[in-house]
Chain A
Amino acid sequence: MNKTTLGFCTLAAAGLAAPLLGIYPTILMKCWCLALFACAFNLLLGYTGLLSFGHAAFFGAAAYFAGHAIKVWGWPPEAGIIAATLFAGALGWVFGSLAIRRAGIYFAMITLALAQMTYFVWLQMKFTGGEDGLQGVPRARLFGAFFGGIDLADNMNLYYVVFAIFLAAFCLIYRTIHSPFGQVLKSIRENEPRAISLGYDVEKYKLLAFVLSAALAGLAGATKTVVFQLASLTDAHWHTSGEVVLMTLLGGLGTVFGPVVGAFVVVGLQNELADKVGPWAQVIMGIIFVVCVLAFRRGIVGELIALARRTGIRRA
């Protein structure tokens, strides 16, 4: 059994067992949603080398879309989540085709500015509820049309649905990274002029990666709305964009499991810190950011892989 299979099995086992160990399911669901968000982000930064500083735009847009569709239009949750994912993907196509006109630092600034623009739109639109957010999104029955479906009002049912969504999206990302398409993305990250000279339409690949990443970030946002029954401005704020960068960086940029670990650490920390230190939480997040960039660029999983390699060489 190789390491990746082992990782997958550990992940699946941990996900299935976690709520039975007495950990509060809502926190776990938040972790899985943000882990999915971070994995989607990692697909773009870790594997394509594009730093988007506006990924909260897709997370937030899908959260509002799903909330509105389920609450006001009365759509079943599965339809709301799928439509919201497609909506985020479409938004990603628009943002992506604008942002890939510039590279590097400009790319980051453009995505941030576009995300801020959508933030102001949500702030002013009536249906989003402004500062209060879109509250009281019902947890209806999932697949209600088939054999009565699954009752999402039950926390345990909802947990396994959320985990299944995460696992499906995670496998999709894994497949994407290891497909020929993913190899081209990596070549763009490593050496873009060379990828161009080999005849790849780099812009098209970047745009596709961006759309996929945005859609999956949207899936995470829509799922989060169903879990918390709430879509709010926080989801679309640039702080959320910064948080997802932190999760990915802390867990390990360009590693398959890194963002998942990063998301659990960051959510866990925030959860622990919020009661004890209040406003210091932001300072601590900032310090982790600085330490990661200065001394810990491989992240947790990246360091573990490097450690395993070193010991492996010594043994051989």
Chain B
Amino acid sequence: MFDLLGITPQALYSQLLVGLINGSFYAVLSLGLAVIFGMLNIINFSHGAQYMMGAFLAWIGLTQVGGWIGDPEFQLSYWAALLVVPLLMGGFGMVIERCMLSRLYKLDHLYGLLLTFGLALIFEGLFRYFYGVSGQRYEIPEVFAGAIDLGFMALPKYRAWVIVASLTVCFATWYLIERTRLGAYLRAGTENPRLVQAFGVNVPLMITLTYGYGVALAAFAGVLAAPIFTVSPLMGADLIIVVFAVVVIGGMGSILGSIVTGLALGLIEGLTKVFYSEASAVVIFVIMVIVLLVRPAGLFGREK
């Protein structure tokens, strides 16, 4: 079959792997957008910039911080970055929510989109000013050097880790929201914030935490991405537009829906690269058009 299509199995498997990796990032990022949208009713346009900042903070921690604090031996290791960077960015996100976003809830939701767009421009511009657009390399941590031989293909260890880690985070989020008490408050708050507040739940705090969590998810994806893609100020901008299309396709109604849609679209993109590579940049947008024609609310969405 492979001979007929003029494609080697190796090429197919390696593109499927690339697709699965991209799909994992789409899943984590669209999940973050969906969580934020559920609670705040805004689309976080700076999600891509926050993903970029996550990658950059990991790189800065590994290569720059030592010099800044006068101890060149000091490095923020990959594992530490995976924990510290999302926490830092989550805190930063909560500050943004408290100081800026919270002033906009009474207005049209579009203002939230415009504000976060402005923030994205600022973040991107700042990192461009300090680090240029050429991109920085982040070494793969030693544990994940090399590849596992699966018989039909070599699977680089780090890539396997990325898929495992992002899926774990996705399902942990799903569990947190769908199966715990806190998640029940959150879902209730999404449905009817005033009623939940009347029951004595601190809804504004919940909103702040939700935004912080969404931003932390983006930063986590950024740290995961740092060793695979070059760390550059522009890495988030184009990605986030694709993730928007993913969100339109999946609809933001369900957590599992975001995860499944993200992974599936990554795979489809990978397959398109094998069979008709010219179309791989637009295939997700084309699928979006088809979904809009057939099922405007999105595959997992509900009409409101």
Contacts and interface: CB of A to CB of B under 8 A. Distances in A.
A114 B125 contact: no
A141 interface: no
Interface string B284-299: 0110110011001100
B71 to A, nearest CB: 30
B117 A289 contact: yes
Nearest to B304: A103
Contact of A289 (B107, B110, B121, B293): B121
A105 B248 contact: no
B288 A113 contact: yes
A102 B248 CA distance: 9
A192 B263 CA distance: 36
Contact of A290 (B115, B124, B238): B115
Nearest to A280: B129
B288 A249 contact: no
Contacts of A51: 110, 113
Interface string B111-137: 101110111111111101100000000
Interface of B: 37, 41-43, 100, 103-104, 107, 109-111, 113-115, 117-126, 128-129, 237-238, 241-242, 244-245, 247-248, 278, 281-282, 285-286, 288-289, 292-293, 296-297
9 contacts: A51-B113, A109-B244, A110-B248, A242-B117, A280-B125, A282-B122, A286-B123, A287-B122, A289-B121
Given A108-B43, A113-B288, A293-B115, A283 B248 contact: no
Interface centre among A105, A123, A282, A290 (most CB of B within 10 A): A105
Is chain A's binding surface mostly helix, strand, loop or mixed? Answer: helix
The 10 A-B pairs of least Cβ separation, nearest first, read A289-B118, A286-B121, A282-B125, A286-B122, A283-B125, A117-B285, A101-B296, A113-B245, A290-B118, A109-B244
A105 B241 contact: no
Given A117-B282, A238-B241, A98 B110 contact: no
Interface in A65-112: 98, 101-102, 104-106, 108-110, 112
Nearest to A95: B289
Contacts of A53: 113
Contact of B292 (A98, A278, A279, A288): A98
A116 interface: yes
Contacts of B286: 117
Nearest to B251: A106
Contacts of A245: 114, 117
A287 B110 CA distance: 18
Nearest to B244: A109
Contacts of A292: 114, 118
Contact of A285 (B121, B128, B247, B282): B121
Contacts of A287: 118, 122
Contacts of A121: 282
A124 interface: yes
A283 B130 CA distance: 12
Given A98-B289, A101-B292, A282-B121, 17 more contacts: A53-B113, A98-B293, A102-B292, A105-B110, A105-B113, A109-B248, A110-B292, A112-B241, A113-B241, A113-B242, A113-B288, A249-B114, A279-B129, A289-B118, A290-B115, A293-B104, A293-B114
Nearest to B124: A282
A279 B128 contact: yes
Interface centre among B103, B114, B237, B245 (most CB of A within 10 A): B114
Nearest to A288: B118
A127 interface: no
Given A105-B43, A113-B241, A121-B282, A289 B128 contact: no
